[in-house]
Amino acid sequence: MSFTPESILFSLFTAVVAGLGSYFGYYVKARAELRAATEDLKQHVANEAELTRAIESEKLRVATEGAVGAEARQCIYALVAAVQSLLHSMCWLAWDATHRKTVRKALAELYDTEAHKLQPEILARQALLLRLDGPLYARLQRSIKELILLDVRFGETIVLSESNEATAITDFADLLSDSLALKNEIDVAFSGEAIGA
């Protein structure tokens, strides 16, 4: 075999072309792998960001539900306390007048003071309850209205006692019965079942 300058040049040219082809092949492959790795990293970062947003959104939802639940429990507790306190004052005044056969002015004034303090609290808590627990609000709405109307009757009977105590005492007996019935109705509205039934 003889080596001619053309064959040597051809061999060198072939080797250079093969070397360049191999170099560019590895270069392109490395670039493609780098691009694919970059795209994978971008997708991973996007997935992590989406997962973080979803987790934070869930945390916020749970925290909000917890806060609303706590606010609802506090509102319901305050409403129960105010309603039951007013009912107790009604029952006590009516019982006292019925059993003593007289309307004690001091007790009537105490009732008046307490009713004026509790009614705005009851109405405010009832309005808040509408936002926090619609079904409970719906169950209580009629009973709260009856409670306010019953308070009006108590006021009228207290005024009547100043001029006609005998009739007022008879009316207080009816009011005692109505107060106890309303208490049971309100207990049912709050709990869904009568207490002591």
- Provide mean pLDDT across the span 27-35: 80
* Statement: residue 45 has pLDDT above 80: yes
Residue 28 lies in a domain: no
* Statement: residue 30 has pLDDT above 80: no
Angle at 94 between CA 91 and CA 96, to 5 degrees: 100
Residue 119 lies in a domain: yes
Q: Give CA–CA dist 29/34, Å, rounded.
A: 8
pLDDT value at residue 37: 81
- Provide mean pLDDT across the span 26-41: 81
Residue 38 lies in a domain: no
Residue 108 in contact with residue 92, Cβ under 8 Å? no
* Statement: residue 49 has pLDDT above 50: yes
Cβ neighbours of residue 179 closer than 8 Å, sequence gap 6 or more:
87, 90, 91, 94, 150
pLDDT value at residue 35: 86
Tell me the three-class secondary structure of the chain, residue by residue: CCCCHHHHHHHHHHHHHHHHHHHHHHHHHHHHHHHHHHHHHHHHHHHHHHHHHHHHHHHHHHHHHHHHHHHHHHHHHHHHHHHHHHHHHHHHHHHHHHHHCCCCHHHHHHHHHHHHHHHHHHHHHHHHHHHHCHHHHHHHHHHHHHHHHHHHHHHHHHHHHCCCHHHHHHHHHHHHHHHHHHHHHHHHHHHCCCCCC
pLDDT, tens digit (0-9, with 9 covering 90-100), for 85-118 = 999 999 999 999 999 999 999 999 999 999 999 9
Domain count, the chain: 1
Q: Give CA–CA dist 113/136, Å, rounded.
A: 28
pLDDT value at residue 193: 63
Residue 18 lies in a domain: no
The structure's pTM equals 0.68
Give the pair of three-digit tokens for residue 53.
């947003």
Give me the percent of the chain exceeding a pLDDT of 90. 50
Residue 132 lies in a domain: yes
Give the residue numbers spanning the domain of 104.
72-191
pLDDT value at residue 7: 75
pLDDT value at residue 192: 66
pLDDT value at residue 197: 46
Residue 107 lies in a domain: yes
**Selection from 176, 180, 157, 175 nearest residue 167 by Cα:** 157
- Provide mean pLDDT across the span 143-167: 96
Residue 156 lies in a domain: yes
pLDDT value at residue 1: 61
Residue 135 lies in a domain: yes
Mean pLDDT of the chain, nearest integer: 87
